[in-house]
């Protein structure tokens, strides 16, 4: 699977900072292959890193710069929002999860790595959600 076919949810990026070394190492290996994230992922990461992890803004910017060096960032758009609203309604996802799913769909990705969504679920016959930390 090429990196261009893969999209990462915020939780995968956050595991880079985890005290759980197994998950941190798995996240690092996955992200090193490359793939895509969205501006939504950048925003959510910054919010959690600042509020819950009490990281400084220079530390947050440093981690995000490293992630952006290996992942392409999909910009937010009205099209992303509209598609997210449709996905949220059809699949019962929160608007925040649906924004990530919509960005992955619009980018043409086939795999979304996420620990928070249903492992194995297929969205729009295109995108399969995979829990990278679940049992193999």
Name the E strands within 6-133: 6-8, 35-38, 71-74, 111-113, 122-123, 127-130
pLDDT tens digit string along 1-20?
455 699 999 999 999 999 99
In a domain, 112, yes or no: yes
The CATH number of the domain where 83 resides is what?
3.40.50.1010
Q: What is the pLDDT, as a whole number, of residue 59?
A: 97
Q: How many domains are there within the chain?
A: 1
- pTM as predicted: 0.93
List the domain range (segments joined by +) for residue 42. Answer: 9-130
Q: Nearest to residue 13, comparing CAs of 135, 136, 132?
A: 132
Give domain status of residue 83, yes or no.
yes
The per-residue pLDDT for 111 is: 97
Length reported for the chain? 136
The answer to whether residue 3 is domain-embedded is: no
Q: Which residues of the chain have pLDDT under 50?
A: 1
Decide: 133 and 115 in contact? Cβ < 8 Å.
yes
State the pLDDT at residue 104. 97
Residue 1 within any structural domain of the chain:
no
- Determine the pLDDT at residue 67: 96
pLDDT at site 50: 97
């Amino acid at each position: 699977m090429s990196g261009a076919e893969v999209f990462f949810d915020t939780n995968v990026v956050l595991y880079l900072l985890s005290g759980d070394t197994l998950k941190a190492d798995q996240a690092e290996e996955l992200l090193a292959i490359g793939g895509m994230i969205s501006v939504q992922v950048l925003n959510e990461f910054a919010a959690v890193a600042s509020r819950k992890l009490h990281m400084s803004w220079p530390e947050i910017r440093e981690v995000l710069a490293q992630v952006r060096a290996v992942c392409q960032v999909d910009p937010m758009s009205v099209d992303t929002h509209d598609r997210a609203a449709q996905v949220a309604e059809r699949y019962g996802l929160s608007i925040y999860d649906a924004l990530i799913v919509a960005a992955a769909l619009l980018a043409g990705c086939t795999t979304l790595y996420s620990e928070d969504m249903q492992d194995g679920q297929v969205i729009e016959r295109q995108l399969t959600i995979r829990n990278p930390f679940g049992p193999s």
